Amino acid sequence: MILYIRLMDWVVIFKSQEVYQVELLRQLLLGEDIPAVIMNKKDSAYRVIGEAWLYVPKEREESARLVLYNSDPEFGFDMSGRQN
């Protein structure tokens, strides 16, 4: 089965060079019934180049940012849930 997502309907809410951080946040959002996908833009030859991006549907952006804001402050979200 191939999963096709129209990225025009999704927004990036978190970026990191550490893929595990993005995966932790994705699991957190999925636990709150918020769909989330990761686009891994890391270079396959040079793992230190690139980032992983966390996407959520536009209509769920506000609730996703609230979940992230209330999560571990280590991830650096401000009051609006935006990444610092």
Q: Quick check: helix, strand or coil at residue 13?
A: strand
Taking residue 23's Cβ as centre, other Cβ atoms within 10 Å add up to 16
Task: Report if residue 80 sits inside a domain.
Answer: no
Task: Report if residue 20 sits inside a domain.
Answer: yes
Q: What is the pLDDT of residue 63?
A: 92
Q: What is the pLDDT of residue 1?
A: 47
Q: What is the pLDDT of residue 43?
A: 62
Task: Report if residue 54 sits inside a domain.
Answer: yes
Task: Report if residue 15 sits inside a domain.
Answer: yes
Task: Report if residue 81 sits inside a domain.
Answer: no
- pTM of the predicted structure, to 2 decimals: 0.75
Residue 39 near residue 51 (C-beta atoms within 8 A): no
Q: What is the pLDDT of residue 50?
A: 83
Give the pLDDT means over successive 10-residue stretches in the chain (84 positions): 65 89 93 93 70 93 88 61 56
Task: Write out the residue range of the structural domain in which residue 16 sits.
Answer: 7-73
| CATH number of the domain bearing residue 68 | 3.30.70.1530
Question: Among residues 14, 25, 19, which one has the least CA distance to residue 48?
Answer: 19
Number of domains in the chain: 1
